[in-house]
Amino acid sequence: MDESNFLVMIAQAKTEPWESIWKEGQNPTWVNRYCQTFTIINVSGQAMGTALTAIDSIHEKIRYKSFLGKWQGRLDYAFVPFLRRELPSLIKLQSSTIQELQVQTNSSYIFSGRRLLAQIKWFLENTDKDYLILTTTSSLLNLKSLQNLLPKFGLNNPYYAGHILGEYPNQFISGAGQVINRTCANLIMKNLRYFPYRMLNDIALGTLLRKVGVTMVNIPWLWIQSLNELENTPDRSFNGKFHFRCKSSSFPRQDVRIMRAIHERLVSLQSQGKIDY
């Protein structure tokens, strides 16, 4: 039975490698561990056609490269402003594990901003939880650590937290692990005119919240990009962390193997009394 004051929503694309990471990585590890005691919802868009899938695949491979990524970003800025602005609805899907919702727009990165805002709107209209945790497929969350962390923050003022990326003054919370309270969620919905849809959704959300004067709170993640890096990470690095980024730097992706190994490490540390997991 869920008696927590937060809801976790996992944003997942209905393409590879994200489908495999969800089914073979997240679902059998931390989601399975917590799904009976916390509310966790998988949120996906509609499946894409061949053309959009190919475009997204190319986009994912080049957006972190300095030269190609810069030109990809310029193309995004040129194209996305012509997209529709109304927020899509969410419908329930049949599931054998946790609740699954589908945003009624496709899974392309192009629509990531609309999908993010639709999730926040659904949270406000369909739950009474105090906090919304927004994460992605290549993340492992320690919800016990999160549960211990949240009481330190109030509910009356807008709260926007997670791992900070970017350079001042254009910083933002990584979309892989964003924490907002209801006050912040309501503020977002009231100020959608400041949401720049041409940007990736986490950068856009940070831009909106800076414009309305919300200060972000840094909650550092632990990003493990390979099994070798995990082996060389000391036990003390896991203490107090709630967000573990498992996005690998290799092709083919190793996210599933990394996530399973982190999960096993956390279970071992829990059994030794070194962390709460």
Average the pLDDT over each of 88-97, 206-215, 227-236, 252-261 and give the range with the smallest value: 88-97
CATH architecture of 6-219: Alpha-Beta Complex (3.90)
User: What is the pLDDT, as a whole number, of residue 145?
Assistant: 96
Query: Average pLDDT of the chain?
Result: 87
Residue 146 burial by Cβ neighbours in a 10 Å radius (0-12, 13-18, 19+): buried
pLDDT tens across 136-190, in order?
A: 999 999 999 999 999 888 889 999 999 999 998 899 999 999 999 999 999 999 9
Residue 206 burial by Cβ neighbours in a 10 Å radius (0-12, 13-18, 19+): buried
User: What is the pLDDT, as a whole number, of residue 73?
Assistant: 52
Query: How far apart are alpha carbons 263 and 27 in whole angstroms?
Result: 12
pLDDT higher than threshold 50 for residue 243: yes
Q: Which two tokens stand for residue 266?
A: 């956390």
User: What is the pLDDT, as a whole number, of residue 69?
Assistant: 44
C-alpha dihedral (57, 62, 64, 67), degrees to nearest 10: -160
DSSP letter at 169 equals T
Query: pLDDT tier at 273 (50, 70, 90 boundaries)?
Result: very high
User: What is the pLDDT, as a whole number, of residue 197?
Assistant: 84
Q: What is the mean pLDDT of residues 200-206?
A: 93
pTM of the model: 0.88
Q: Residue 231 belongs to what H/E stretch?
A: helix 227-231
% of the chain at pLDDT higher than 90? 66
Query: How far apart are alpha carbons 39 and 243 in whole angstroms?
Result: 17
% of the chain at pLDDT higher than 70? 84
Query: pLDDT tier at 94 (50, 70, 90 boundaries)?
Result: confident
Query: pLDDT tier at 234 (50, 70, 90 boundaries)?
Result: very high
Show me where the domains of the chain are located. 6-219
pLDDT higher than threshold 90 for residue 212: yes
* CA 247 centroid distance within chain: 12
Please tell me which residue, 152 or 191, carries the higher pLDDT value. Answer: 191
Are the C-beta atoms of 166 and 206 separated by less than 8 Å?
Answer: yes
Query: How far apart are alpha carbons 131 and 68 in whole angstroms?
Result: 37
User: What is the pLDDT, as a whole number, of residue 138?
Assistant: 95
Phi-psi region of 159 (alpha: psi -120 to 50; beta: other; left: phi over 0): beta
Query: How far apart are alpha carbons 188 and 211 in whole angstroms?
Result: 11
Average the pLDDT over each of 23-27, 52-56, 66-70, 206-210 and give the range with the smallest value: 66-70
Residue 244 burial by Cβ neighbours in a 10 Å radius (0-12, 13-18, 19+): buried
User: What is the pLDDT, as a whole number, of residue 198?
Assistant: 79
Please tell me which residue, 194 or 60, carries the higher pLDDT value. Answer: 194
User: What is the pLDDT, as a whole number, of residue 68?
Assistant: 46
pLDDT tens across 40-77, in order?
A: 999 998 776 565 555 555 555 555 555 544 545 555 55
pLDDT higher than threshold 80 for residue 114: yes
DSSP letter at 187 equals H
pLDDT higher than threshold 80 for residue 206: yes
